[in-house]
Structure 1
Amino acid sequence: MCSQPPRDVDDEYLIDDILEAIPLMSQDTKVLCITGGEPTILGWRLIEVLTAVSRYLPDSSLHMLSNGRAFAYRATAKAVSQAGCRDLMIGVPLYADIASVHNFVVQARDAFDQTIRGMMNLARFNIALEIRFVIHRQTVSRLVQTAKFIARNLPFASQVAFMGLETIGFTRSNLSVLWIDPWEYRDALREAVTMLAAAGMRVMVYNLPLCLIPEEIWPFAQQSISDWKNIYMPECAGCAMKAQCAGFFASASFKYSDHIRPFDTVSQLPSFSII
């Protein structure tokens, strides 16, 4: 929705390009994703985009990523709900169950309160919500507690995604304070996933290879990395589970777990149900 990394130029022409492209897209398009920068800073131009999608691609699912803060204003949530998109889900990150941690991660005062109010307004206007928890060294200590918070306070969420870290952009320049071997939090991830599943919530695990997570939660793992940036490490050669595994972001080639290992045979997935 804007140039990345941001430039000190007016790039609103990108929205005009998008509005010209939407009518040309195949009506068989299954899913569109709106990412960013933050799309809500476009104001009414975002509503133009959503309205165009609803008009020209009425049967397509639309997934929009947002920090959720603008939806703390009821008028914003209401306007999005009235844009006419039949199947819209908004993915909003929640980095902790307490304000101090979430605000530190996003480096914005009052962000936690605004994000929670935004989530509640999305529910108020019947907009599907995906809660995203990116696991890194600054958030991992609140992983289980955040799962409890979600189950108790945000049960209306359509799905919850626990996400492995992509080591790109500012993450790479802050790697020493962000990166943690997924092997270290595998037990906490198992507890968080099974807790939410037991509460009747739809749960997904993104961006983590199967050999780094407990087998009990394999049914929740998704092949979530876009094919153009999806790789496998040399240690994965000959792994019988490779076809079912998310693998790695290409940016991870310089830093990844010491616990990667191939499986000799295809494992039987445990009989957990994804609600």
Structure 2
Amino acid sequence: MLTLSAKVLQQGVPFADNPVHRRTPRVLFTLTTNARLPQAARSGKAFLMREPGELPSGFPQVVALERARVQLGAVANLTVVPNELDYMADGDVVALSSDGRIRVLYRANTPHNGVLLTEQCNNYCLMCSQPPREVDDRWLLDEAMELISHLPRDGRPGLVLSGGEPTTWGAGFIELIDQFKRQRPNVVLHVLSNGRRFADFEFARAYAAVKHPDIAVGIPVYSADPTRHDYVVQAAGAFDETVRGILNLKRLGQRVEIRVVLHRQTIDGLTELARFIARNLLFVDKVALMGLEMTGFTRANLDALWIDSADYRDTLSEAVRVFKHFDIPVEIYNHQLCLVNRDVEDVYVRSISDWKKEYAQECAVCVRRTECGGFFASSIREVYSRKLVPFF
């Protein structure tokens, strides 16, 4: 598991107080190890020092690992960070803030990048991994807007926009998507939303009108029974708004993925949900069947949520068969390869982000470990299946 945020050991960015906006002042930099970068190209760049050496001049900021600080002294534009961030590399984007922290916002060498847009949400899901808070965190949207210009112009990097509920910002969210299209149309976007805001057809139409070239919305549906769905998300009427949101998006030609988190409250109705989707939402672009992440509210509601994935493997296979029968693309996320039936391996995805993925001790001898998605680090610490059967 990687550390994406840490306290700096030496602060090299001068910050002014910003009491008017009551937001943490911060500066974004793209890291480079090219000491010969032309002066004209150094704007917005921070030189990354991984080992002791001569301090380069001409960069607005130098970010040095602790082991590289030897004899550098208190240089005005030098920020020193813990060695645990030694994975940082060329093209990574970091934020340095006046509270003395560094956050890695984007890593150039991984497909697993996400941006938190807000902690606010109108759902209160039993298993929420990012529990909602009623706070003024508009600065997260502002930071995401600033991040765009630091992203690569070439290739097809992917970025997940998450929350909370990203659409909380209304017109601000639409403007963010529009800026991605204008500045970095090559960046593939995946929005994680509860879908309820898209029940407003005018909002859905504004989103579609941006015409971003490569964007999809992942929306959870937890049951074919509205009462059960609303219980899981702890919001009355959420099922109706979510389904109407999906219908509006598809009416407007937008890509939609349905996400189903599998746990004790959803697994019994999974096959019926598959049939519901086949009857009523046949036109969705994909269905993702997802394992439970042991963090956030899941810990508090563990008794009501936990079920060993080995015990529902046949139900999982049955649901996959329904989707395949109706030619609905389906994928299995956040599961361990030895705990799913062989008949679903063709839709199995190694989906857990590298920065929060670990393997159990039992996995050390498994010959298919490189094919397996592993565990969320939080699962290793909390609870995971005791029925692991390593492949030999």
TM-score (norm 1): 0.93
The one-character-per-residue Cα deviations of 1:95-136 (angstroms, maximum 9, x if unpaired) are: 000101000000111111111111100101111000001100
Structure 2 letter corresponding to 1:15: L
SS in 2 for 1:119: helix
Structure 1 letter corresponding to 2:118: C
SS in 2 for 1:237: helix
The one-character-per-residue Cα deviations of 1:246-267 (angstroms, maximum 9, x if unpaired) are: 1110000120111112101xxx
Which one of the candidate residues 167, 175, 183 is aligned to 2:294? 167
1:99 aligns with 2:226: yes
What residue ranges of structure 1 are gaps of 5+ in the alignment?
265-275
Structure 1 letter corresponding to 2:263: H
Contact (CA 8 Å) 2:131, 2:297: kept in 1 or not?
no
Contact (CA 8 Å) 1:131, 1:160: kept in 2 or not?
yes
Q: In the alignment, which residue of structure 1 is the partner of 2:144?
A: 18
Q: 1:11 deviation in Å? A: 1.6
Give the Cα–Cα distance (whole angstroms) in 2 for the partners of residues 18 and 60 of structure 1. 13
Contact (CA 8 Å) 1:35, 1:66: kept in 2 or not?
yes
Q: In the alignment, which residue of structure 1 is the partner of 2:165?
A: 38
Sequence identity of aligned pairs in percent?
A: 45
Q: 1:173 deviation in Å? A: 0.8
Q: 1:94 deviation in Å? A: 0.3
SS in 1 for 2:190: strand
SS in 2 for 1:184: helix
Q: 1:10 deviation in Å? A: 1.9
1:262 aligns with 2:390: yes
SS in 2 for 1:161: strand
Q: 1:57 deviation in Å? A: 1.4
Which one of the candidate residues 190, 210, 223 is aligned to 2:317? 190
Structure 1 letter corresponding to 2:144: I
The one-character-per-residue Cα deviations of 1:63-87 (angstroms, maximum 9, x if unpaired) are: 0000001111101110111123111
Coordinate RMSD, CA, aligned: 1.2
TM-score (norm 2): 0.66
Q: 1:7 deviation in Å? A: 5.0
Q: 1:185 deviation in Å? A: 0.8
1:64-75 mapped onto 2 (5 Å cutoff): 64-75=191-202
Structure 1 letter corresponding to 2:384: Y
Which structure features the higher share of strand residues?
A: 2
Give the Cα–Cα distance (whole angstroms) in 1 for the partners of residues 300 and 163 of structure 2. 20
Structure 2 letter corresponding to 1:185: Y
Q: In the alignment, which residue of structure 2 is the partner of 1:268?
A: none
Q: In the alignment, which residue of structure 1 is the partner of 2:33?
A: none
Larger CA Rg, structure 1 vs 2? 2
Which one of the candidate residues 192, 195, 214 is aligned to 1:87? 214
Contact (CA 8 Å) 2:157, 2:187: kept in 1 or not?
yes
Which one of the candidate residues 126, 135, 149 is aligned to 2:262? 135
The alpha-carbon distance between structure 1 residues 118 and 7, as it changes in their structure 2 partners (threshold 3 A), is closer
Contact (CA 8 Å) 2:357, 2:376: kept in 1 or not?
yes
Give the Cα–Cα distance (whole angstroms) in 1 for the partners of residues 280 and 133 of structure 2. 38
Contact (CA 8 Å) 1:50, 1:84: kept in 2 or not?
no
The one-character-per-residue Cα deviations of 1:192-239 (angstroms, maximum 9, x if unpaired) are: 001101211111000000111101101111010000101110011120
Give the Cα–Cα distance (whole angstroms) in 2 for the partners of residues 112 and 135 of structure 1. 17
Q: In the alignment, which residue of structure 2 is the partner of 1:51?
A: 178
Q: Aligned pairs, how many? A: 264
Q: In the alignment, which residue of structure 1 is the partner of 2:118?
A: 2
- Higher deviation after alignment, 133-142 or 22-31: 22-31
Q: 1:6 deviation in Å? A: 4.8
Give the Cα–Cα distance (whole angstroms) in 2 for the partners of residues 19 and 88 of structure 1. 17
Q: 1:60 deviation in Å? A: 2.1
Give the Cα–Cα distance (whole angstroms) in 2 for the partners of residues 161 and 8 of structure 1. 29
